[in-house]
């Protein structure tokens, strides 16, 4: 849902985008709460234990476990151990988040992929009067609207065994893990691009830059295990849409209309 001025501000162009995965999309969210906690810390997003616990609970809920904020950390780990009895490989499994509508990836993953491709294609280039780096330029002007991008299925299509190689104090060794995957999902989401609002302002992303950005992103892929060439896709739709048809504004307008009808009754 957008703010109260969004429908009148007119500062964004909106697009509907559809990706067709060529093969497997791999899940990257760890199933074990003990692993999740370390994973969250490596993201550098959360500054204290309460923040981490809050996100830990939310992630466990999205993975289908009945976690609640009033549970202690020990209770959360005990819940995971109970779940592990029904899934012996859970401690070494990465997968997808889900809710009542099914499996999904997060919009932030798509935004990160766009920024990565911007850095690959246009790294070192400076844009506009402020001479901003192109990666930051894209980050400020190209937004993925949805927080959740659904994969059109309730369960993963399978689990792949993944053998890794690490080097530690004991020398080189192999690791064994499991990763959930979905085969050739088609995902649709929406992006908005910031318009140029004044003469001499930062120029918009050009059509050729946009084409090169997405074409590079197709081969870089999305999801986990991209170094193994998973997550590659084809862009099959990129259509400009009216602002009123964008998800965030459609919700805002619907709520506004409902409020007007309620006030009039």
Q: What percent of the chain has pLDDT over 70?
A: 74
Say if residue 106's pLDDT is above 60. yes
Query: What pLDDT, on the 0 to 100 scale, is given for residue 264?
Result: 47
Report, as an integer, the average pLDDT of 195-210.
75
| Residue spans per domain, the chain | 6-26+101-165+172-258, 32-86
Domain range 6-26+101-165+172-258, CATH class: alpha beta
Q: Across residues 75-90, what is the average pLDDT?
A: 62
| Rounded Cα gap, residues 62 and 102, in angstroms | 10
Task: Judge whether residue 202 has pLDDT over 70.
Answer: no
Q: Copy the structure tokens of residue 234.
A: 């084809």
Question: Please, are residues 172 and 165 in contact by the beta-carbon 8 Å criterion?
Answer: yes
Supply the mean pLDDT for the chain. Answer: 81
- Position with higher pLDDT, 94 vs 74: 94
Alpha-carbon span 18 to 233, nearest angstrom: 10
Q: In this model, does residue 108 exceed pLDDT 90?
A: yes
> 66-80, 131-145, 161-175: which range is least confident on average?
161-175
- pLDDT tens digits along 27-42: 998 876 555 656 566 6
pLDDT at 171 (0 to 100)? 73
Give the pLDDT of residue 265.
47
- Give yes or no for residue 137 having a pLDDT over 50: yes
Distances, alpha carbon 74 to alpha carbons 34, 41, 67, 80, 87, in Å: 10, 18, 12, 10, 20
Alpha-carbon torsion 97, 101, 107, 110, what sign? positive
Residue 150 has a pLDDT of 97
What pLDDT, on a 0 to 100 scale, did the predictor assign at position 189? 96
SS (H, E, C) 126-193: EECCCCEEHHHHHHHHEEECCCEEECCCCCCCEEEEEEEEEEECCEEEEEEEEEEEEECCEEEEEEEE
Q: Tell me: pLDDT of 196 over 70.
A: no
Q: Which of the four pLDDT bands, split at 50, 70 and 90, describes residue 51?
A: confident
């Amino acid at each position: 849902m957008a703010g109260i001025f969004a429908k009148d501000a007119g500062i964004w162009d909106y697009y509907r985008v559809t990706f067709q995965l060529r093969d497997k999309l791999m899940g990257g969210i760890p199933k074990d709460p003990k692993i999740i906690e370390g994973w969250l810390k490596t993201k550098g997003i959360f500054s204290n234990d309460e923040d981490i616990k809050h996100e830990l609970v939310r992630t466990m809920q999205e993975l289908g476990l009945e976690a609640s904020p009033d549970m202690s950390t020990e209770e959360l780990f005990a819940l995971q151990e109970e779940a592990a009895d029904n899934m012996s490989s859970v401690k070494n499994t990465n997968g997808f988040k889900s809710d009542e509508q099914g499996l999904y990836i997060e919009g932030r993953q798509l935004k990160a992929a766009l920024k990565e491709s911007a850095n690959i294609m246009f790294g070192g280039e400076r844009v506009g009067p402020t001479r901003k780096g192109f990666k930051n330029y894209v980050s400020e002007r190209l937004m993925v609207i949805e927080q959740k991008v659904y994969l059109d299925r309730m369960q993963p299509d399978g689990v792949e065994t993944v053998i890794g190689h690490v080097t530690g104090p004991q020398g080189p060794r192999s690791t064994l893990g499991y990763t959930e995957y979905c085969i050739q999902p088609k995902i649709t989401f929406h992006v908005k691009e910031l318009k140029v609002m004044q003469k001499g302002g930062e120029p918009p992303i050009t059509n050729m830059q946009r084409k090169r950005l997405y074409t590079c992103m197709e081969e870089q892929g999305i999801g986990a295990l991209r170094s193994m060439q998973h997550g590659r896709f084809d862009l099959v739709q990129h259509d400009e849409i009216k602002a009123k048809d964008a998800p965030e504004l459609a919700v805002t307008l619907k709520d506004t209309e409902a409020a007007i009808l309620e006030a009039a009754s």
